Amino acid sequence: MVSKVLLRPFNGSLDDARGILAVDRAAFNDCPYSPAQIVRLLTRGEQRAWVAEAGGRVAGFVTAFPTHTLQAESWEVDLLAVQPRHRRQGIGTALIKQAAAGAAESGVTQTRGVVAARNHASRRAFEAAGFQILPQTCHLMRCDVAGAADRPPMPGRDAIRRLIGEADARGLLQLAPALPHTAQDVTRLANAESTTILVAERDGGVSAFAELVKVRTLLYAGAWVEMLVTSHPDEAAPLIATAVEQVKAEGLDEIGCLVAARDWRRRQAFVGEGFASAGEYLVMIHALREA
């Protein structure tokens, strides 16, 4: 039971890193990093981790990191894993609550988790920690770019560039008026190290944009397409293609996004640019305070 388990932050030691790696091997076998690399990832950046210790060994862990996007400031609960012999004891829920408490201390407005629709155990753990499921199911789309060859230019890509000033920002806000930002806010975000905003020009104005957020997790270094807004259907593919080349040029491993399951046209636009669906996922949100 949880009362026999010690919940604490990752302590920066190789022993903790080896424990996290052992749990990953038992649960996913996806982490490509050594214990020393895990220590660097969890101590030199914004990503944080909490562990559940049972009998002097790491029985489970959760990782999380902040993101600052056009839509919200969130704390992403990224990776949750528990040793099989320690499951069904409430450890997953307790770890998620630890991550959410860390989010509240950071000042962000919400905590977000993305859970495979078929992973009923993780869904129950998030719900028990106070998370609510957003209404629409999404496809998690991924494209591996590490080592991929450059592709030939495609029509429309020459009109796509980075957002460079407040005039572009005002054009972006006209396309997405519900965003809670001023043009200055958007420009400031576009200049952040972790964010790239690509805009498409048509008739002298911004007609589409894509927001990319760089992330480095225990599984990969990559980017997410957080928003993709177009005023013409034919603008999606050039924006996606430019985003892929941008991520590739930065030496990252992969690019991903979430696409509403009912939006088959948008999903096909990503498939056409080399993405594949990793399955259906649910987005779960826990509001920490009013924005």
pLDDT tens readout for residues 20-60: 999 999 999 999 999 999 999 999 888 999 999 998 999 99
Query: Residue 203 in 3-state DSSP?
Result: coil
- The residues near 103 (Cβ < 8 Å, ≥ 6 apart) are 64, 66, 75, 110, 111, 288
CATH architecture, range 2-133: 3-Layer(aba) Sandwich (3.40)
Query: Which pLDDT belongs to residue 155?
Result: 62
Q: Where are the domains of the chain?
A: 2-133, 141-280
Structural class in CATH, domain 141-280: alpha beta
Q: Report the pLDDT averaged over residues 112-139.
A: 94
For residue 136, pLDDT beyond 80:
yes
pLDDT tens for each residue of 176-191: 999 989 999 999 999 9
Query: Which pLDDT belongs to residue 26?
Result: 94
Query: Which pLDDT belongs to residue 156?
Result: 59
Query: Which pLDDT belongs to residue 1?
Result: 44
Query: Which pLDDT belongs to residue 289?
Result: 61
As given in the structure block, the two tokens for residue 287 are 């509001």
Q: How many helices (H) and strands (E) does the chain have?
A: 8, 13
